[in-house]
Amino acid sequence: MANINGKEAASLNGEPVVKRPRENVQQDVSLRAPREPQNKVTVVLGAQWGDEGKGKVVDLLAMDADIVCRCQGGNNAGHTVVVDSVEYDFHLLPSGVLNKKAISFIGNGVVIHLPGLFEEADKNLRKGKGLQGWEERLKISDRAHIVFNFHQAVDGIQEQQRQQQEGKNLGTTKKGIGPAYSSKAARNGLRVCDLVSDFKFQPSSSTFSIQGDDLFSSRCYKMKPDQSKMFYC
């Protein structure tokens, strides 16, 4: 402690510390005032087991968006969007694909049945002009897993087995979504990058067929040589 004018004051390294009155300390108010965020991310999340109207909400929000992303799921669900009295049905395509100023992105959490993707696009193209140029504004993650016809066959057979064994089923759409995610979790599925990388898709698909046989055969399905085409989209 130091003695200043007969009063004790705190000292630091032998030097007295003089406290300034608060009113003499300038405060930069701009540092405390909240700033308008430069970038915004809006998440549309359903918590009602589907049928909440997410597609319609995304379509409205997409009008002011630069990027519209779909993060998970497959073509088992559907979103209906009405634009200029034209009704569009989306299963894999993000609902924001109708916005010609936004980039639509299918993330690596989505499982993609490629024939279903192109059939969906062609079907909606015939309905109206809203989807024109979709292939130029759609980006697909090269880490997204592929749904094969094999997955759909497994899905249907597993559903039949549940009905026979338990007297009830899950009510699956038999689009192969569950088995495709099983392949992803088992780390033996094929991804979009396997289609476009180094021309090793054929060997990879052969390995996948063997691993898929091991994964599903004990439960419901046994691959046969003449059924190998079921592994292709």
| 123 flagged as catalytic | no
| 51 flagged as catalytic | yes
- To the nearest 10°, the Cα dihedral for 78, 80, 81, 82? 160
Query: Is residue 147 within 8 Å of 111, Cβ to Cβ?
Result: yes
Ligand-binding site membership of 151 (annotated): no
Ligand-binding site membership of 53 (annotated): yes
Ligand-binding site membership of 207 (annotated): no
Q: Residue 79 has which token pair?
A: 């979103």
Which of 91, 174, 175, 184 does the annotation list as catalytic?
A: 184
Ligand-binding site membership of 56 (annotated): yes
| 7 flagged as catalytic | no
Which of 28, 51, 84, 198 does the annotation list as catalytic?
A: 51
Ligand-binding site membership of 187 (annotated): yes
Contacts of 50 (CB under 8 A, 6+ apart): 77
Which of 59, 79, 155, 194 does the annotation list as catalytic?
A: 79
Ligand-binding site membership of 120 (annotated): no
Ligand-binding site membership of 167 (annotated): no
Query: Is residue 93 within 8 Å of 120, Cβ to Cβ?
Result: yes
- To the nearest 10°, the Cα dihedral for 188, 191, 193, 199? 60
Helices (H) and strands (E) counted in the chain, each on its own, are 7, 11
State the binding site for Mg(2+): 51, 78
State the binding site: 50-56, 76-80, 173, 187
State the binding site for GTP: 50-56, 78-80
State the binding site for IMP: 51-54, 76-79, 173, 187
Q: Give catalytic residue positions.
A: 51, 79, 184
